[in-house]
A and B are shown apart, each in its own frame.
Chain A
Amino acid sequence: MTRLVPTAVLAACFTFMAALSASAQSIDETINSIFASSTGWFVTLIFSNFPGTSFPWIVGWLVVAATVFTVYFGVIQFRAFGHAIALVKGDYSDPDDAGEVSHFQALATALSGTVGLGNIAGVAVAIGIGGPGATFWMILAGLLGMASKFTECTLGVKYRNEYANGTVSGGPMYYLTKGFAERGMPGGRFLAIMFSIFCILGAFGGGNMFQANQAHAQLTNVFGPYPGFITGIIFAGIVFAVIVGGLKSIARVTEKVVPIMGVIYVGTALIIILMNYDMIGWAFGQIFAGAFTGLGVAGGFVGALIQGFRRAAFSNEAGVGSAAIAHSAVRTKEPITEGFVSLLEPLIDTVIVCTMTALVIIITGQLISDPETGLYLLNEAGTAIRTVGDTSGVALTSAAFSSSIGGFKYILALAVILFAFSTMISWSYYGLKAWTYLFGEGKAQELTFKSIFCVFVVIGASASLGPVIDFSDAAIFAMAVVNIIGLYVLMPIVKRELDSYWSRLKSGEIRKFT
């Protein structure tokens, strides 16, 4: 097994290479059609509408959950905000724990898994289909999502496994089994298995194929068109070197450069917004008007709402359960502290970074509207808003940035590649944790998963955006279905932790070290 898998991957690569000279473009088409036809049923299941409406039940599921947690924990996202910042700064960290995983590090790692192409390309998809109004719903979803993230990350730390060799493993699979057992509820093990299956699919989809797909889209945007599987194979090779070959240097460089790219991205967006400061009021006007009227987009304001919520959930992953895996390694005696820290994740990811992208696209006038009615004009198929260069996804974001700052597309291409890469590394880890939960720990099991993961990089870069984004969303939302059931059952436990910690904080029993 150990030897077979890499050989199979190599053989697959050579087959691709050999076919390269024959007919490069048809390979992409073949991969696309096989992929689209084999995943269609799953996508339909997840995105089916409430009977008699055009509202996908899964979007309602996420919003209702985020609202329930927001109410149940007394608007924790605003109450605990200041304390979350103090925790990240290290004000409450015991100096004797120096050298252990800090709150900052857990948050930074989780963020590098979530800040990715969802923020650059996903937002463009939302605005392109749902219009500026989608931004409003995206921000609202981000704010509500903070409460979901708080709940799942607290549980992630509380029910993590700490092994004798000093390593830790946490995430929904552990809190579903242990937490349900503690509450005397059946079905925890079943949910954990379902979660693991969906998590593996999510790792292949949103954590991998969508990233490879949009990285390739941006590369062709810069260098001109060429077959996607070439990008796929190069990406797969590098990912393989890091996750299988243990090439830590690449991972380490990425981890250092990604935050810098994030700052450059937000900084550039701010500059463009300030350059067009006279348009800011108009842009927010479009966002509010679009949020409640739709301004002519397909599906009206419900269309804007669905796109906003859908892309927000895809971007910040609140309620999905993935972040609970990354956050659970932190060194703390109080699981709830990591919950507070994780609140900041949807805020940074969605409320700040996604909104920047949206504002730049709106302000630079990429969306074409009818000057007389003020409504947006749709493309021929009537599915999306017509844009200046007929672009969508990452190409739309790139066009928006480049229209103000020429040449930014090169920097954006670099940012896209790095974000895509760091998200892939994070998700390969999430997927691996789910995989080893199902199949047991061991080198052979790990290698099998990692090899399949690399194959999906190639598929993702080759397939077209539509099927890839549908499958990616479906897989990630399927994780949320299982995870949120667990969160409902376990939220009284989080409440108990919260009440206990909060009273000790107020009484001064928990104090700052500095």
Chain B
Amino acid sequence: MSEKFVVGYDGSDVAKRALDFAVSRAKAQGGSILIVHVLEWSPYSFLTPQELEERHARRTEELERAEKALMSPLKSTIAAAGVPVETQIKYGHVAKTLCDIAKKEGATQMVIGRDGDGGLSSRVFGSVAGSLVQVAPVPCTIVP
């Protein structure tokens, strides 16, 4: 069975390093890459009536923007390196969504970056990398 790497990607420098790491491993092992961009979203948040009305339109815009700015440029460069690549853009809780996709797509490994910035918010709410270490359904590599 060939390796399938799920890579969490948000366009940051660490995300790029994580992706480079995954691409080099996939190339060496003859595996493929699935890049996932998760837009943080909770169905239990509170919106104003105006925001409700525009939500569908905003979502469409956000998806298009993410596809254009983040995903499209990657596809061609990684495909050019000879590694099969797919992309997905999802809404939800970042760590949970990454795990769901890894299970659903039959991934064998996950790779994400961490910013190593132990700020107050990540102390209180936890970080994506920290959560994945605990709940990832497949081996998970965290790239510093």
- Asked if A and B are interacting partners, one says yes
A268 interface residue per 8 A CB criterion? no
B41 touches A326 (CB 8 A): no
Interface string of B48-68 (1 = CB under 8 A from A): 111011111111101100000
The CA-CA distance from A90 to B45 in the complex, in Å, is: 13
B46 touches A259 (CB 8 A): yes
How many chain B residues touch A (CB < 8 A): the figure is 25
A106 — which chain B residues lie within 8 A by C-beta? 52
The CA-CA distance from A112 to B43 in the complex, in Å, is: 16
Check A100/B59 contact, CB under 8 A, given A109-B52, A167-B54, A329-B53.
yes
How many chain A residues touch B (CB < 8 A): the figure is 36
A67 interface residue per 8 A CB criterion? no
The CA-CA distance from A429 to B49 in the complex, in Å, is: 7
A109 touches B91 (CB 8 A): no
Q: Closest A-chain residue to B39, C-beta based?
A: A99
Nearest CB in chain A: distance from B47 CB, A: 5
Residues 61 to 116 of chain A near chain B (Cβ within 8 Å): 90, 93, 95, 98-102, 104-106, 108-109, 112-113
B41 — which chain A residues lie within 8 A by C-beta? 98-99
Check A109/B92 contact, CB under 8 A, given A99-B59, A102-B43.
no
A251 touches B48 (CB 8 A): yes
The CA-CA distance from A422 to B27 in the complex, in Å, is: 55
B48 touches A255 (CB 8 A): yes
Check A101/B48 contact, CB under 8 A, given A90-B43, A93-B43, A166-B60.
no
A426 interface residue per 8 A CB criterion? yes
A98 touches B92 (CB 8 A): yes
Contact of A426 among B43, B49, B55 (CB under 8 A): B49
A144 interface residue per 8 A CB criterion? no
Contact of A167 among B43, B56, B91, B100 (CB under 8 A): B56
B49 touches A166 (CB 8 A): no
Check A99/B91 contact, CB under 8 A, given A104-B43, A167-B54, A168-B56.
yes
Check A425/B56 contact, CB under 8 A, given A98-B41, A99-B91, A102-B43.
no
The CA-CA distance from A109 to B44 in the complex, in Å, is: 11
Nearest CB in chain B: distance from A100 CB, A: 6
B114 interface residue per 8 A CB criterion? no
B46 touches A167 (CB 8 A): no
B57 touches A108 (CB 8 A): no
B46 — which chain A residues lie within 8 A by C-beta? 105, 108-109, 112, 255-256, 258-259
B75 interface residue per 8 A CB criterion? no
A166 touches B48 (CB 8 A): no
B48 — which chain A residues lie within 8 A by C-beta? 109, 248, 251-252, 255, 425-426, 429
B16 interface residue per 8 A CB criterion? no
Residues 58 to 106 of chain B near chain A (Cβ within 8 Å): 58-60, 62-63, 90-92, 100
A430 — which chain B residues lie within 8 A by C-beta? 49
The CA-CA distance from A105 to B43 in the complex, in Å, is: 7
B49 touches A101 (CB 8 A): no
Q: Closest B-chain residue to A427, C-beta based?
A: B49
A331 interface residue per 8 A CB criterion? yes
The CA-CA distance from A428 to B9 in the complex, in Å, is: 40
Contact of A105 among B45, B59, B60, B91 (CB under 8 A): B45
A101 touches B60 (CB 8 A): no
Residues 111 to 136 of chain B near chain A (Cβ within 8 Å): none
Known A166-B60, A426-B48; further 8 A-B contacts with Cβ < 8 A: A95-B92, A99-B63, A102-B44, A105-B47, A255-B48, A325-B49, A329-B52, A331-B55
Pull 23 A–B residue pairs with CB atoms less than 8 Å apart, ordered by A: A93-B43, A98-B91, A99-B59, A100-B55, A100-B59, A101-B55, A104-B43, A105-B44, A105-B45, A105-B47, A109-B47, A113-B49, A166-B54, A167-B53, A255-B46, A329-B49, A329-B53, A329-B55, A330-B52, A425-B49, A426-B49, A429-B49, A429-B50
